[in-house]
Amino acid sequence: MKCHVLTLFPEMMEQALKASILGKAQDKQLINLNFINIRDFSNNKYLKVDDYPYGGGAGMLMQAEPVYNAFKSINTEGSIKPRVVYLTPQGRTFNQHIAQEFAKEEELVLLCGHYEGIDERVLELIVTDYISIGDYVLTGGELAAMVVIDAISRLVPGVLHNDDSAEFESFTDGLLEYPHYTRPVEFMGKTVPDILLSGHHANIDKWRREKSIERTVERRPDLIEKADLSEKERKELNYDTIEF
């Protein structure tokens, strides 16, 4: 997976993304991050890339030309036209389903805005997807782009040690994950559920499934309707007590 990132703050992103699992994934060339500094494409000697909005109003806007030229400088491998994702609170809300969709792409371009946003004309010319990471406003798209990069990288085969862990986790079947325990068996008077020590794998799977459903009902009842439940599991749900 190759990801080109158009940003005014490449150092901040590079630094954060080279730690831990994503750092190792880059070392192993499982993911390849290419940061392009939009300021390098400024058309004036002060390296300015922003200006006042026509029509007045608060704040500054990123100009179309440096963003366009930064985009045009990207060398995509072969003849594919990658999706160009603009991080903005005005986009579709990012979720695991979109992460899976993006993880299938060979190449992706992420565009990070700053100030009050970017001149609409360049967005119309290059953007294919508008993505938000939630209903709140950040100072720029960089943190949002890092969230997207993290979520999709861990779905790239080989990035996580255990391929199962990306598959059997929260959201994959529309449910939250069951609770986890590790050593010691007792901590502050709380013990690990006996069933997990039993070695009986079928019973453990059954217990985990029940806990997943229970937890989703409790913490994210809004997910239950679309979750991948069997007919029997649905019948056993007590819809009267679920707070949708």
* Binding positions for ligand ADE, rule: CB under 6 A: 87-89, 132-134, 136-138, 141, 144
88 vs 216, beta carbon nearer ligand ADE:
88
116 vs 173, beta carbon nearer ligand ADE:
116
Report, in Å, the least distance between residue 69 CB and ligand ADE: 22
Report, in Å, the least distance between residue 47 CB and ligand ADE: 23
Report, in Å, the least distance between residue 57 CB and ligand ADE: 17
Burial tier of 172 (Cβ tally within 10 Å: 0-12, 13-18, 19+): middle
Q: What is the dihedral of CA 229, 231, 236, 242, to 10 degrees?
A: 50
Residue 224's closest CA among 207, 204, 238, 208? Answer: 238
Give dist(CA 152, CA 236) in Å, integer: 34
> Do 132 and 94 form a contact (C-beta atoms < 8 A)?
yes
49 vs 224, beta carbon nearer ligand ADE:
49
- Residue nearest to ligand ADE as judged by C-beta position: 144
Bin 36: left if φ > 0, else alpha if -120 < ψ < 50, else beta. beta
145 vs 213, beta carbon nearer ligand ADE:
145
Report, in Å, the least distance between residue 17 CB and ligand ADE: 17
